[in-house]
Amino acid sequence: MELSKRDMYRFPWSGNDNPIGWLEVTDKCNTYCRGCYRINGMQGHKSLEQIKEEIALLKNWRNCDNISIAGGEPLIHPNILEIVSYIRSLNMKPLILTNGIKMENNIGLMRELKQAGVVGFTFHIDSEQQRPKWKGKSEIELFELRQHFADMAKEVGGLFVSFGMTVYPGNLYMVPEMVKWANKNIDRVHGLVFIGFRNTLMEGEYDYYANGKKVDLKTSYAADNSDESYLTSRDIYAEIKKNFPHYETSAYMGGSQVHDKLTWLVSAQLGVKGQMYGSIGKKVMELFQSFHHLRYGTYVIYSPGNKIPKIALLLGLLDKGVRQTSRNFWKDVLRHPARLFQPLYVQSIGIIQGPDLLEDGRVDMCESCPDMTVWNGKLVHSCRMDEWRLYGNYIQPQRRQTEVSNGVVISPEAIPVVDHSASHN
Ligand code: SF4
């Protein structure tokens, strides 16, 4: 199915009313991930006082339902328990984005965080990490580690658990494997997040300016080549769709500059352990967001519970996706009556296509960016916060001036390059 905005619900989130507040408590990390957009250890751990200030700003400015605690690696921050309970005390849901290293053999820490009020974890695990004890392991081998964290969280109970993966052309083939594994573990894996890899050419067709001054790009996503930086959300969607007919997206976010880009694609699949039935449609996604806003005053992204009462299948009366899911469910019950007594679960899949540098130098971001964070008392895109940390402002790419001959504008690659070394021989 060609993805069409008409068949999906555009999240109603805005800069001023957004379920997510992105909080970076430290830029220190205990591993290194290729594709990370944070320079490690430039400022270290933030003080608890500064962190509390940022949490309050996010709540007041964005009316958040959840605070996504990130870094660097948030679990190495000495006050992580106080941070979690402070967020909970402000009636918001603290979710921790972590590589999990500090918790790998420490279920006690997971229990303490649960006690402090954490709503759940997004574990970032992929083969492009320099992870102690797991270096060089393939994505397939890393399922053992993913299973370990999923089982650990199941044992603690009452936690939202999802797994994130940065997608490169080289591991795109792994996306269906992740979905298959997650579907098999639908009782303990609440979601998956796939983020298309992005970097920026240091030397290419663009010069970079900040505050009107030309600068050298020193961010962690500056690179000598950007050959891998092209996967779109549609590419990742297509890889899943061709392997899982039950999978369908029901909500999206667009671009900030262009209108043919889907920066966020979200699906909510329904199934029992051992059998998937379908995905909810745009109507139920809209109902869920609007109902939560009416009832709690905020939009929503995370909820610790993933069990769905079967009566919810009656929503098929208004929602095409649920109607098809319900048909598949009852057909299966006729074949396997025991399914009727198995719990029905929902499992989300999020696909994020990050910033794209456009031909004319504009940078297309995610509209109403859900991951805005606080820097120096203002809200900035977390994926470009290092531009503020290094240059005090966003970088403005400017396409390099091309040489003009006889009034004809010729492109850079058409300019003949004289190989001066040849003349010296
Ligand atoms: S624009 Fe916002 S949501 Fe999109 S990748 Fe950047 S920080 Fe994430």
Return the higher-pLDDT residue of 370 and 1. 370
Average predicted confidence (pLDDT) for the chain: 92
Q: Are 64 and 300 in contact (CB under 8 A)?
A: no
Give the CA distances from residue 412 to residues 200, 205, 216, 357, 361, in Å, rounded to whole numbers and listed in that order: 18, 8, 20, 18, 15
pLDDT attached to residue 404: 52
How many of the other CB atoms lie within 10 Å of CB of 8?
20
Test site for ligand 1: of 374, 382, 388, most ligand atoms within 8 A of the Cβ: 382
User: Does the structure show a pLDDT above 80 at 409?
Assistant: no
pLDDT tens digit string along 103-136?
Answer: 999 999 999 999 999 999 999 999 888 898 898 8
Please tell me the distance between residue 383's alpha carbon and the centre of ligand 1 in angstroms. 6
Nearest CA to ligand 1 atom 5: 354
- Ligand 1: lining residues by beta carbon, under 6 Å: 263, 352, 354-355, 365-366, 369-371, 381-383
CATH class of 9-399: alpha beta
Residue 35 has pLDDT above 90, yes or no: no
21 confidence band (pLDDT: 50, 70, 90): very high
Residue 27, pLDDT above cutoff 90: yes
Cα 220 from Cα 288, distance rounded (Å): 38
Q: Model-level pTM?
A: 0.91
**pLDDT tens string 333-366:** 999 999 999 999 999 999 999 899 998 999 999 9
Q: Are 346 and 306 in contact (CB under 8 A)?
A: yes
pLDDT (average), residues 47-62:
98
Q: Select from 274, 254, 272 the least CA-distant residue to 263.
A: 254
Which residue's alpha carbon is at the smallest distance from atom 8 of ligand 1?
Answer: 371
Report which of 227, 200, 206, 114 is spatially closest to residue 160, judged by C-alpha positions: 114
**Per-residue exposure over 54-65, b if at least 16 CB sit within 10 Å of its own CB, e if not:** bbebbbebbbbb
User: What pLDDT band is residue 157 in, cutting at 50, 70 and 90?
Assistant: very high
Determine if the peptide bond prior to 72 is cis (ω within 30°).
yes
Residue in the block written with tokens 């939202």: 160
Region class of 305: left (phi > 0), else alpha (psi between -120 and 50), else beta? beta
Task: Evaluate whether 243 touches 349 at the Cβ level (below 8 Å).
Answer: no
Distances (CA, A) of 288 to 69, 193, 250, 313: 24, 20, 12, 14
- Residue by residue, DSSP assigns 227-291 as TTTT--HHHHHHHHHTT-TT----EEEEBSS-SS-EEEEEEEEEEETTEEEEE--HHHHHHHHHH
Tell which residue, 100, 143, 135, 104, has the closest CA to residue 120.
Answer: 100
Dig out the tokens for 378 from the structure. Answer: 């203002």
Closest-lying ligand 1 atom to the alpha carbon of residue 198: 5
Domain ranges of the chain: 9-399
CA-nearest residue for atom 2, ligand 1, is 369
| Cβ neighbours of residue 133 closer than 8 Å, sequence gap 6 or more | none
| Distance from residue 141's CA to the centre of ligand 1 (Å) | 29
